[in-house]
Amino acid sequence: MKRGGFLKRGGPLRRRRLVAAGTITNKMLDDACRAVVFARDGYRCVMCGKTTRLQWSHVYNRSYRSLVWVPLACKTLCAGCHKFKWHEPPPGFDPKAWFRSRFPGRMEEIDAFYFANKGKKIDRRLTLLWLQQELKRYQTNDRLLTEVFQEAGPNVVQAAFKKVFPR
């Protein structure tokens, strides 16, 4: 295909129109999932605790399609841990073994989710809506807990529990 011809037929324009009409793009899902993972992990690297240069990291790589937008299968890492601990670990350091001990049982949950959903069509709209709802849930809990911790005294845990889970 001639590049000029493609551009003349308005490839990029046409794509923009589709998005406006309601297509859920990979980027929209990426942004939503990253936001949920960061909020869930408290905006900290789960390896070293750093709060800057945070990145969205998958436990299995993105070729595992049914896990790409599943927060369970994702974690927050700083740029340093992501590159030098997760992808290019130093000799003697096994990142997956670290993950298993840091989050007991979670790898098994991820594997179970993967095998239960492998090859299934991803409902992009529903996935996006669910991620947006998850983000709201984490943000609401964060806000409530912040308020509670500011105002509560010695019974802080009890007070927080009552406020976040009324009754």
> Are the C-beta atoms of residues 83 and 45 closer than 8 Å to each other?
no
Nearer to Zn ion, 50 or 124 (CB): 50
> Do residues 117 and 110 touch, judged by C-beta distance below 8 A?
no
Q: Of 70 and 78, which has the nearer Cβ to Zn ion?
A: 78
- Please say which residue, 70 or 85, places its beta carbon nearer to Zn ion: 85
Whole-number minimum distance, CB 138 to Zn ion, in Å? 20
Displacement of CA 80 from its chain's centroid (Å):
18
For the CB of residue 165, give the shortest distance to Zn ion in the complex, in Å: 31
Query: Least separation, in Å, of the C-beta of 98 and Zn ion?
Result: 12
Crossing angle of helices 106-117 and 95-102, rounded to 10°: 110
Residue 160 CB, shortest distance to Zn ion, in Å, is: 27
Residue 84 or residue 149: which is nearer to Zn ion going by CB?
84
Q: Can you tell me the distance from the alpha carbon of 63 to that of 73, in angstroms, rounded to the nearest whole number? A: 13
- Residues in touch with Zn ion (CB under 5 A): 45, 47-48, 50, 78, 81
CB 56 within 8 A of CB 38: yes
For CA atoms 37, 43, 49, 54, the dihedral sign is positive
Which residue number, 59 or 78, has a Cβ lying nearer to Zn ion?
Answer: 78
CB of 88 to Zn ion, least distance (A): 14
What residues contact 7, with CB distance under 8 A and at least 6 apart?
Answer: none
